[in-house]
Structure 1
Amino acid sequence: MIANEQIKASEVRLTGLDGEDLGVMTRDEALALAKKHKVDLVCESLMSSPPPCRLIGRGAAKQDMNARKQAEKRKDGPLKAKEIRLTPHIEEHDYETKLRQLEKLLDGGLAVDLTVRAQGKESQQAKALLERLLADLKGRGSRETGIQTSGKGAAVRVVPARRP
């Protein structure tokens, strides 16, 4: 963030405190205006000539910048995942409880790794249980990976439909 005397351009395109366009003026005039109103002169971009600058309350520019960085980091960062384990012989009440838990996690923006532990010939039942869960979670999330079956069960990763 470039502010006040750090701005080296001779002319700047200035935006006022309420978002009004004050036009192109010299850097010294803009700094004088900022001091008069007891605010900071902040440069928004160095990619254009003259660079766009705005008047913003003291300290507010830094808070605004930190908020933008955090939002960017949240958007670009890896999706956190929780693991939910099930068995192929789950009762209906337990299934509904797990389904509500999954909906809360997906609505909160977390990915979910669903794992069904199976023994022997139960792998088809495990896969059928995961397909049922995916069908019930249709609007809240979608699968990131296909259902992977192995000798000990089946697994799938479900990501939220929309990231916060």
Structure 2
Amino acid sequence: MLLMNEKIKASEVALTGLRGEDLGIVGREEALAMAREAKVDLVCTSLLSSPPPCKLVARGAAKQTDAQEKKAERIQGGAVKTKELRLTAHIEEHDYETKLRQAEKLLTSGHAVQLTVKLAGAKEGERAKALIDRMLKELAPHGTRETGIQVSGKQAAVKVNPA
């Protein structure tokens, strides 16, 4: 968990500056004042030692690196669950947008998505392929496809992994 600014409750902190310089042991209020003055965040790097080591970090950078670390942990955390979204080749625009939002939500939460388009007839294969291509383009910021589009018999499918 990331402790920042006023959430740090220790009376003294071992402070590190913006460029990595050691500023020594400083009172909490003084460290917060220094952070406010420099328009940066005061971030606690560990709660296991006393006084806790803290550093001055550019605003927003700490949250961003924390989010990246959590994402990397989630990816390394084991098997990614695959969720299937079923569509038809003759989907209406509103339903398409709903399925797209569902796919985005699943991908951002770390799940892989299997897009499956059910085919009613042999002639729907091209239409299903076009639908999946459109969906893949719109999902590009959230995930990358693992397989090519497979059209077989009564369905067309593709697997998309989280980005």
Which residue matches 1:134?
136
Displacement of 1:74 after TM fit?
4.3
Structure 2 residue runs of 5 or longer lacking an equivalent are: 1-13, 15-47, 50-70
Equivalent-residue separation in structure 2 for 1:92 and 1:156 (angstroms): 20
1:22-61 deviations in Å (ceiling 9; x for gaps): xxxxxxxxxxxxxxxxxxxxxxxxxxxxxxxxxx57xxxx
Which residue matches 2:114?
113
Does the 8 A contact of 2:85 with 2:113 survive in 1?
yes
Structure 1 residue runs of 5 or longer lacking an equivalent are: 1-17, 19-55, 58-70
Displacement of 1:75 after TM fit?
3.6
Q: Percent identity?
A: 60
Equivalent-residue separation in structure 2 for 1:107 and 1:73 (angstroms): 14
Does the 8 A contact of 1:88 with 1:129 survive in 2?
yes
Displacement of 1:124 after TM fit?
1.1
SS at match of 1:154: strand
Letter in 1 for 2:129: K
Which residue matches 2:146?
144
Q: Give the TM-score, by structure 2 length.
A: 0.54
Letter in 1 for 2:158: V
1:81-131 deviations in Å (ceiling 9; x for gaps): 100000000000100111111111111011000000002231111111100
Equivalent-residue separation in structure 2 for 1:96 and 1:72 (angstroms): 29
CA spacing shift, 1:72–1:143, aligned 2, 3 Å: closer
* RMSD between superposed Cα atoms in Å: 2.5
Letter in 1 for 2:157: A
Which residue matches 1:159?
161
Which residue matches 1:79?
80
Does the 8 A contact of 1:119 with 1:151 survive in 2?
no
Letter in 1 for 2:147: T
Equivalent-residue separation in structure 2 for 1:140 and 1:159 (angstroms): 9
Letter in 2 for 1:158: V
Q: Which runs of 4+ in 1 moved over 2 A?
A: 71-76
Displacement of 1:147 after TM fit?
0.5
Letter in 1 for 2:108: D
Which residue matches 1:90?
91
